[in-house]
Structure 1
Amino acid sequence: MQTQADLETILLGPVLAERTCGDCTVCCTALVVDTPEFAKPAGTPCVHLTGKGCGIHPVRPPICRTWFCAWRRVASLTEETRPDRSGLLVSLNFVREPQNCFEGVSINIRVLAGSDAIATGLAGKVLDTLCDQLVPVWFSDGSKKMLMHPDKDVAHFVLTGDPAPPNLADEVAAWRDRYGVFGGSD
């Protein structure tokens, strides 16, 4: 079985050597961390976060050493899309008990509180960049989570198993081939 880190590299690419977090610490607050070594709820700053970044950086937990946002991995995401600059945190999401085949492993775009990325169109540009392969893309604006890729018509046919119309048949078949093993909706 592939590890989470392997899947991140397969689906998003390797960590780009020329990109560093710099002073971005968005993940240190925005994300849930639930590992044997360390845990914290989403939206809560890490207890080790200081005004200068991670206070235990040299000895930080394994999850902090191995997790990278999509900006660190996807070359087509521009400098302006770094999480602290854009107000968007893009990552690969792993759901232990998915409600449907599009939730288990997917790209998740989170709009951070106070971000104007939707109003400026930056969120749309990021979506356009990421919705080009057979990987589900979810968008969360803080109040709800929405499936953005595949589009709703394709998702409907994949989830229901209903025959797809000719104009969608190839795309639906490709999604079913990849995600059919995970089953449809409950």
Structure 2
Amino acid sequence: MHTDTDLETTLLGPVLADRACGDCTVCCTELTVDTPDFAKPAGTPCIHLSGRGCGIHAVRPRICRTWFCAWRRIASLPDDARPDRSGLLVSLNFVKAPQNCFEGVSINVRVLAGSNAIENGMAATVLDSVCDQLIPVWFSDGSKKMLMHPDNDVARLVLSGDAAPHHLRDEVAAWRERYGVFAAKG
């Protein structure tokens, strides 16, 4: 049986030995955590977060020991894409009740409050680095969530089941092969 961690490694790659969280604690505030041994809502700092990082680092919950943002796994992301430097949190998301086949398991690029990642081009650089596989990519700027990959024409064809024009046939077929089973349920 595969666990979420196994799926993260399969889709994003292993944790890179030359990348460390350092002073970054973005995930400790931004993410929802809902596990049997620890829970916190999104946008709320972890109760164990101190001015010096995790106050219980040596005995932190399993989810905190095993979860890593995409910056720690995707070598093509630049060093400046670390969440505390870039103002972006890139992660693999698991949605229990997805609205469509592109939401169940996807990469999510979130712009953090106060970030200028759109204006300075970092958001575009990060999106270019993660929109190259058969993994849906969503972008959230805080006010709306947008599907960035596959592009709208391909996504519409995958979801509708309509025949693809010749120039999109192979791409649509690849997405349907991977996600079609989920599209049929929705």
If the TM-score is normalised by the length of the shorter chain, which range does it land in? over 0.9
Structure 1 runs, 4 residues or longer, greater than 3 Å off: none
**Which residue number corresponds to residue 161 of structure 1?**
161
Does residue 68 (structure 1) correspond to residue 68 (structure 2)? The answer is yes
SS at match of 1:183: helix
Does residue 30 (structure 1) correspond to residue 30 (structure 2)? The answer is yes
Question: How many Å apart are 1:185 and its aligned residue?
Answer: 7.7
RMSD across aligned C-alpha pairs, in angstroms?
Answer: 0.9
| Aligned-partner Cα distance in 2 for 1:141–1:185 | 29
Does residue 182 (structure 1) correspond to residue 182 (structure 2)? The answer is yes
**Which residue number corresponds to residue 40 of structure 2?**
40
Deviation digits for residues 31-70 of structure 1, max 9, x if unmatched?
A: 0001111111100000000000000000000000000000
Deviation digits for residues 129-181 of structure 1, max 9, x if unmatched?
A: 11001000000011111000000000000000000111101100000000011
Deviation digits for residues 103-148 of structure 1, max 9, x if unmatched?
A: 0000000000000000111100110111001000000011111000
Deviation digits for residues 18-38 of structure 1, max 9, x if unmatched?
A: 111000000000000011111
| Aligned-partner Cα distance in 1 for 2:159–2:184 | 4
SS at match of 1:169: helix
Percent sequence identity over aligned pairs: 76
| Aligned-partner Cα distance in 1 for 2:174–2:153 | 14
| TM-score, normalization by structure 1 | 0.98
| Aligned-partner Cα distance in 1 for 2:54–2:133 | 34
**Which residue number corresponds to residue 97 of structure 1?**
97
| Aligned-partner Cα distance in 1 for 2:16–2:27 | 17
Contact 1:19 1:72 in 2 (8 A): yes
The one-letter code matched in structure 2 to 1:139 is F
SS at match of 1:14: coil
Deviation digits for residues 1-25 of structure 1, max 9, x if unmatched?
A: 4211111001100001111100000
| Aligned-partner Cα distance in 2 for 1:50–1:117 | 26
SS at match of 2:113: coil
| Aligned-partner Cα distance in 2 for 1:166–1:185 | 26
Contact 1:159 1:185 in 2 (8 A): no
| Aligned-partner Cα distance in 2 for 1:3–1:40 | 21
Does residue 49 (structure 1) correspond to residue 49 (structure 2)? The answer is yes
**Which residue number corresponds to residue 147 of structure 2?**
147
Gaps of 5+ in 2: none
Count of residue pairs the alignment pairs up: 186
